């Protein structure tokens, strides 16, 4: 079929799987899709072995989640996989909005052009998953089992027990923790009898991936009430391999089978693109969607990530991207809990922070859906009034909502994972990921800030203007923090410049200090997921240590200078 040859991954013999499952796995991941595989690779980076169970023997059927956001690329970059994704994907930063027969406006999603990665790349989910699967196959800490369908979970005792079916028969698999990454129709969720809460929308959308040589630029185009589909909406995205994503709103009362007939789809595409453009149909699908989530994402030693935990409408690219942010949040916490350096209650902060994020995503996604498909005559009048004004008065464009596109969630500053600290009016707030701005590498070569943080452990960013301002006591405190059981590496960001090495980041001109909103002497504590956990006007090792204990769910502060 079409432009993509699906890889077929070999299933391993049942006898081998049984033999490998006599000992308890630290972590079993149910679902080897985009989120499950990213989870396995993230945990492997932190030294945690996983068994990944996937019912299929290949990657995503269809292009599905195509818009990979900046934060997702940053997470994959830690895994060494952003480069191949970037090389294959279509980079885009701009969106363009149309109403009826005219263009209303365009917008740029890239907040800072100095950032390493663009706002988005478009890359078919099958390409994403193939890249992740290849990396997982190379990783000795990942035991990736294709055609292993989980049919049951027993959470009554320890370890947890999964019932797994393979083409040759079934086996039982013990695991300390289970991560449910098994998607919208999660088996684990059903097995545990957990309910989603939220909204189901009465509308159908048709995805048509077509292959064509087209003159359109690499940007997101969205139509409200276009002449080729009066009263509905439509969306156009460029994908790699000459594939284009068309997304048509169909309405609720449709004849599904008739709409899926190739000639009906072709006729719809021709109405949009014109009679003279040659194209082939690659993949056609009709979908409905929900905006809903589980009450909690942690249920004892079962943790839900991605679509298994929460679902949104596709407007805003908040499905796959929020799943990768779940992984970003959970990986370091689970690694600390598994090796006993943090209590299991640390996993509750995964629940709190990602439930917060899911509510934000569901809110954006619900509001976009309400704007795109008004539910009543009066709400349609308001929607159309907004679009009409937006064509002639720029202020009204802020009200137009064709999907608020995925950005990194700023986690609650007063939540369990953060400490807060002094308030700064501008710059990077507590709870936000560090911006991936240009920063000099350890070896003096040009690089980016997240490369200096590398997402392995906690980092204390200390902003100075000249290293001579640091005392011998300070240096001893850095060593003590670095030598603690949960190490905090101090990275000195020096506005005065100087030489780069593992502990020093020259910041001539103060590009980074200004971006953070950091005064000379200010200190920022960054979590292993590259999010800011705390900030203070001055370095105080006792505060850093006690913040670390709070963030990791441990009680009792340890003074690294010694009592």
Alpha-carbon gap, residue 312 to 221, rounded angstroms: 20
**Nearer to other proteins by C-beta: 386 or 530?**
386
Helix axes 34-45, 70-78, angle to 10 degrees: 40
- Lateral strand order in the sheet of 458-464: 420-421, 532-536, 523-526, 458-464, 488-494, 504-506
398-427: contacts with other proteins (CB under 8 A): 399
Q: Can you read off the two tokens belonging to residue 123? A: 């890359």
**Nearer to other proteins by C-beta: 391 or 528?**
391
3-state secondary structure string, 443-505?
CCCEEEHHHHHCCCCEEEEEEECCHHHCCHHHHHHHHHHHHCCCCEEEEEEECCCCCCECCEE
Asked if 287 interacts with other proteins (CB under 8 A), we say no
Given a contact cutoff of 8 angstroms between Cβ atoms, the answer to whether 123 and 66 are in contact is yes
Given a contact cutoff of 8 angstroms between Cβ atoms, the answer to whether 45 and 334 are in contact is no
Stretch that binds other proteins, among 18-26, 78-86, 100-108, 379-387 (CB under 8 A): 379-387
Asked if 385 interacts with other proteins (CB under 8 A), we say yes
**What residues does 170 pair with on adjacent strands?**
165
**Nearer to other proteins by C-beta: 184 or 389?**
389
Among 382, 466, 509, 559, binds other proteins (CB under 8 A): 382
Stretch that binds other proteins, among 86-94, 376-384, 485-493, 518-526 (CB under 8 A): 376-384
Given a contact cutoff of 8 angstroms between Cβ atoms, the answer to whether 397 and 105 are in contact is yes
Asked if 542 interacts with other proteins (CB under 8 A), we say no
Asked if 396 interacts with other proteins (CB under 8 A), we say yes
**Measured from the CB of residue 389, what is the shortest distance to other proteins in angstroms?**
6
**Nearer to other proteins by C-beta: 287 or 399?**
399
Alpha-carbon gap, residue 67 to 77, rounded angstroms: 16
CA nearest to 411, candidates 460, 355, 368, 467: 355
**Measured from the CB of residue 393, what is the shortest distance to other proteins in angstroms?**
8
**Measured from the CB of residue 433, what is the shortest distance to other proteins in angstroms?**
22
**Nearer to other proteins by C-beta: 107 or 399?**
399
Query: Which residues, in sequence order, are CB contacts of 355 under 8 Å at separation 6+?
Result: 293, 296, 297
Check whether the bond before 500 is cis (ω within 30° of 0): no
Asked if 388 interacts with other proteins (CB under 8 A), we say yes
**Measured from the CB of residue 502, what is the shortest distance to other proteins in angstroms?**
41
Among 395, 423, 443, 563, binds other proteins (CB under 8 A): 395
Within 247-397, residue ranges assigned H as helices are 256-260, 262-273, 320-338, 346-372, 377-392
Asked if 216 interacts with other proteins (CB under 8 A), we say no
Stretch that binds other proteins, among 243-251, 393-401, 406-414, 415-423 (CB under 8 A): 393-401
Stretch that binds other proteins, among 47-55, 135-143, 264-272, 387-395 (CB under 8 A): 387-395
Size of interface with other proteins, in residues (CB under 8 A): 12
Asked if 105 interacts with other proteins (CB under 8 A), we say no
Among 184, 272, 389, 558, binds other proteins (CB under 8 A): 389
Q: Can you read off the two tokens belonging to residue 312? A: 């949104």
Stretch that binds other proteins, among 63-71, 188-196, 318-326, 378-386 (CB under 8 A): 378-386
**Measured from the CB of residue 373, what is the shortest distance to other proteins in angstroms?**
17
Contacts with other proteins by CB under 8 A lie at 378, 381-382, 384-386, 388-389, 393, 395-396, 399
């Amino acid at each position: 079929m079409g432009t993509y040859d699906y890889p077929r991954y070999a299933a391993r013999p049942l006898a081998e799987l049984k033999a490998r499952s006599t000992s308890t796995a630290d972590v079993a991941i149910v679902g080897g899709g985009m989120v499950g595989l990213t989870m396995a690779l993230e945990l492997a980076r932190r030294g945690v072995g996983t068994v990944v169970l996937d019912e299929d023997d290949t990657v995503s059927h269809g292009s599905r989640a195509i818009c990979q956001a900046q934060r997702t690329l940053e997470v994959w970059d830690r895994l060494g996989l952003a480069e191949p994704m970037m090389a294959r994907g279509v980079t885009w930063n701009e969106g363009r909005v149309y109403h009826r027969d005219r263009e209303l406006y365009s917008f740029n999603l890239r907040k800072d052009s100095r950032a390493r990665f663009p706002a988005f790349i478009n890359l078919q989910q099958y390409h994403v998953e193939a890249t992740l699967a290849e990396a997982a196959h190379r990783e000795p800490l990942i035991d990736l089992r294709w055609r292993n369908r989980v049919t049951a979970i027993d959470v009554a005792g320890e370890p947890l027990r999964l019932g797994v079916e393979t083409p040759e028969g079934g086996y039982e698999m013990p695991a300390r923790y289970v991560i449910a990454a098994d998607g919208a129709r999660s088996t684990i969720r059903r097995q545990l009898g957990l309910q989603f809460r939220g909204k189901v929308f009465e509308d159908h959308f048709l995805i048509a991936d077509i292959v064509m040589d087209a003159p359109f630029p690499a940007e997101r185009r969205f139509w409200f009430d276009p002449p080729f589909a009066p009263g509905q909406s439509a969306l156009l995205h460029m994908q790699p391999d000459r594939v284009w994503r068309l997304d048509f709103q169909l309405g609720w009362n449709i004849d599904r089978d008739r709409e899926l007939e190739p000639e009906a789809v072709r006729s719809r595409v021709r109405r949009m693109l014109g009679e003279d453009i040659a194209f082939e149909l690659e993949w056609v699908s009709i979908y409905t969607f929900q905006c809903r989530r589980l009450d909690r994402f942690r249920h004892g030693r079962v943790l839900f990530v991605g679509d298994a935990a929460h679902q949104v409408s596709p407007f805003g690219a908040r499905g796959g991207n929020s799943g990768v942010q779940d992984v970003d949040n959970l990986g370091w916490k689970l690694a600390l809990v598994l090796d006993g350096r943090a209590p299991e209650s640390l996993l509750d902060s995964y629940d709190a922070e990602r439930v917060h994020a899911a509510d934000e995503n569901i809110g954006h996604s619900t509001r976009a859906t309400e704007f795109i498909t008004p539910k009543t005559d009066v709400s349609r009048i308001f929607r159309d009034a907004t679009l009409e004004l937006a064509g002639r008065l720029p202020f009204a464009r802020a009200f137009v909502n064709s999907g608020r596109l995925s950005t990194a969630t700023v986690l609650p500053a007063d939540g369990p994972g953060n400490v807060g600290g002094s308030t700064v009016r501008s710059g990077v707030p507590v709870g936000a990921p560090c911006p991936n701005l240009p920063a000099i590498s350890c070896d003096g070569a040009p690089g980016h800030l997240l490369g200096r943080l590398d997402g392995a452990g906690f980092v204390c960013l200390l902003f100075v203007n000249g290293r001579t301002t640091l005392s011998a006591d300070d240096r001893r405190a850095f060593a003590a923090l670095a030598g603690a059981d949960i190490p905090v590496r101090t990275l000195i960001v020096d506005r005065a410049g100087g030489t780069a090495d593992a502990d020093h980041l020259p910041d001539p001109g103060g590009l980074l200090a200004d971006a953070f909103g950091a005064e000379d002497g200010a200190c920022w504590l960054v979590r292993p997921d590259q999010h800011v956990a705390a900030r203070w006007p001055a370095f105080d090792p006792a505060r850093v240590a006690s913040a670390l204990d709070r963030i990791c769910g441990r009680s009792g502060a340890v003074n690294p200078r010694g009592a």
